[in-house]
């Protein structure tokens, strides 16, 4: 039986032959399929085109998987927090509730296939949130690992209504497979090859945790080792407290520097690790400052109001300093 192919078909075929990227090739093949008359005489040709489409997609996926192996998310703002966990626990909806990013949210598992990144405003700083694909998603495993191993804080997101203890345990197993363990004070992991990351639990879907069953189970099982913060991304419950918790778990502080006689700009603090000194602040501002620093004038920390302090003085969050060289 003759195929009776149309001019539109030959036009699409011409596009296929001149296509250079997998996307262009697939689009042209799909166009060829859609304009082709569907009858017995074209059965073989249809099957052949479908095979070609499948082969090109597979190849493209394989290539992009390889190129993603060293994938990392560049840290921006005051710290990087990875939202991790089992599928369908509300990681993407949390990102949407805490930032201006609008990732895909859906009631089925494995919706997120690559990280969604957003900046969460907190008082006078921005914290970077990375909404990760589910931890047990095989396709993204290799390159996800880089983010999980390097984030400043891991937020294990669980759905309080479906055995949250098991969800945390499975997430911890996923971390263990890449030699990451939550930091636990008093436990020394040096020399074990394990990589410690600060971690806590975001106990999501709090709106449906009737009788506190889920949150009580988490607290009983993980106690003070992995604190659980109960929220609802859907109902926007307790999100301000969650932001405060994220900030305090990042173990950072904000320091404002000013020049003598000038007004202080409180909107653009220097971010330092908690426990940093005047000397550290000077170095963060300008590396030449550190050696020549004589003293600083400090406002803040409750008891300081324009007092002189030395380079070794330990700073507090939101201190204002004037550096003198
Ligand atoms: N009732 C209620 N539903 C929620 C809440 N958070 C998320 N959901 C719903 O749970 C489903 C999954 O949400 P997602 O944000 O896509 O979950 P995810 O963890 O990103 O899922 P994956 O990307 O597949 O790993 C969606 O239908 C959400 O509307 C919540 O706090 N309360
Ligand atoms: Mg998601």
Distance CA 22, CA 11 (A): 18
Selection from 218, 103, 102 nearest residue 157 by Cα: 218
pLDDT band of residue 5 (cuts 50, 70, 90) is confident
Our answer on whether the CB atom of 208 is closer than 6 Å to any ligand 1 atom is yes
What is residue 258's three-state secondary structure?
A: strand
Q: Which atom of ligand 1 is nearest to the CA of 108?
A: 24
pLDDT for 302 equals 66
What are the tens digits of pLDDT across the range 10-68? 999 999 999 888 888 988 998 899 888 888 888 999 999 999 999 988 887 777 665 55
The model's pLDDT over 193-244, given as tens digits with 9 standing for 90+, comes to 889 999 999 999 999 999 999 999 999 999 878 999 999 999 999 999 999 9
- For residue 201, the surrounding DSSP H or E stretch is strand 195-204
Cα 186 off chain centre by: 27
For atom 24 of ligand 1, the residue with the nearest CA is 110
Is any ligand 1 atom within 6 A of the Cβ of residue 96?
no
pTM (2 d.p.): 0.79
Q: Is 255 in the pocket of ligand 1 (CB under 6 A)?
A: no
For 273-318, how does the pLDDT look when each residue is reduced to its tens digit (9 = 90+)?
999 999 999 998 877 776 778 899 999 876 778 899 999 999 999 9
Q: 5-44 in b/e burial notation, b at 16+ Cβ within 10 A?
A: beeebeebbebbeebeebeebbbbbebbbebbeeeeebee
Region of poorest pLDDT, from 76-85, 127-136, 286-295:
286-295
* Burial category of 62 from C-beta neighbours within 10 Å (exposed 0-12, middle 13-18, buried 19 and up): exposed
Question: What pLDDT shows up at residue 4?
Answer: 81
CA of 178 to the centre of ligand 2 (A): 21
> What pLDDT sits at residue 145?
84
Cβ 111 under 6 angstroms from ligand 1: yes
- CA 118 to ligand 2 center in whole angstroms: 13
Lowest mean pLDDT among 103-117, 132-146, 171-185: 132-146
The CATH H-level superfamily of 252-324 is Beta-grasp domain (3.10.20.30)
Q: Is 125 in the pocket of ligand 1 (CB under 6 A)?
A: no
Q: Where in the chain is the domain with CATH 3.40.50.300?
A: 80-249
Q: For domain 80-249, say whether CATH 3.40.50.300 is its number.
A: yes
Digit-coded pLDDT (tens) for 86-105 = 999 999 999 999 999 999 99
Q: Residue 252: is its pLDDT beyond 90?
A: yes
Q: Are 31 and 15 in contact (CB under 8 A)?
A: yes
User: What's the 207 CA to ligand 2 centre distance in angstroms?
Assistant: 19
Ligand 1 geometric centre to CA of 61 (Å): 26
Nearest CA to ligand 1 atom 16: 105
Query: Cβ(90) to ligand 1 under 6 A?
Result: yes
- Mutation test residue for ligand 1: of 82, 86, 101, 106, the one with most atoms within 8 Å of CB: 106
Q: Where in the chain is CATH 3.10.20.30?
A: 252-324
With cut-offs at 50, 70 and 90, classify the pLDDT of residue 1: low
- Ligand 1 mutation target, pool 91, 97, 105, most atoms within 8 A of CB: 105
Nearest ligand to the CA of 108 is 1
Q: Give the Cβ contact number of residue 243 at 10 Å.
A: 16
d(CA 85, CA 218): 15
Rounded Cα–Cα distance for residues 214 and 58 (Å): 41
């Amino acid at each position: 039986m003759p195929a009776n192919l149309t001019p539109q078909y030959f036009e699409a075929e011409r596009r296929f032959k001149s296509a250079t990227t997998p996307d262009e090739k697939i689009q042209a093949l799909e166009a060829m399929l859609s304009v082709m008359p569907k009858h017995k005489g074209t059965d073989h040709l249809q099957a052949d085109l479908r095979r070609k489409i499948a082969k090109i997609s597979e190849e493209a996926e394989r290539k992009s998987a390889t190129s993603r192996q060293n994938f990392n998310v560049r840290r921006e703002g005051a710290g990087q927090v990875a939202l991790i966990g089992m599928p369908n626990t509300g990681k993407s909806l949390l990102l949407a509730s805490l930032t201006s990013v609008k990732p895909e949210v859906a009631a089925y598992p494995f919706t997120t296939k690559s990280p969604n990144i957003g900046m969460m405003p907190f008082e006078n700083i921005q914290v970077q949130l990375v909404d990760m694909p589910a931890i047990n998603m095989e396709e993204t495993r290799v390159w996800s690992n880089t983010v999980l191993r390097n984030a400043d804080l891991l937020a294990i997101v669980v759905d309080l209504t479906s055995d949250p203890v098991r969800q945390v345990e499975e997430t911890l197993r996923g971390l263990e497979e890449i030699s990451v363990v939550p930091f636990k004070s008093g436990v020394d992991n040096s020399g074990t090859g394990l990589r410690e990351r600060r971690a806590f639990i975001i106990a999501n879907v709090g709106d449906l945790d009737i009788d506190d069953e889920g949150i009580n189970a988490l607290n009983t099982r993980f106690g003070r080792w992995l604190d659980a913060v109960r929220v609802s991304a859907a109902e926007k419950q307790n999100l301000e407290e969650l932001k405060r918790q994220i900030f305090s778990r990042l173990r950072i502080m904000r320091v404002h520097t000013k020049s003598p006689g000038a007004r202080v700009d409180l909107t653009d603090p220097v971010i330092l690790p908690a426990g940093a000194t005047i000397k550290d602040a000077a170095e963060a501002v300008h590396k030449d400052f550190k050696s020549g620093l004589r003293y600083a004038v400090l406002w803040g920390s409750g008891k300081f109001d324009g007092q002189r302090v030395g380079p070794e003085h330990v700073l507090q969050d939101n201190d204002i300093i004037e550096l003198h060289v």
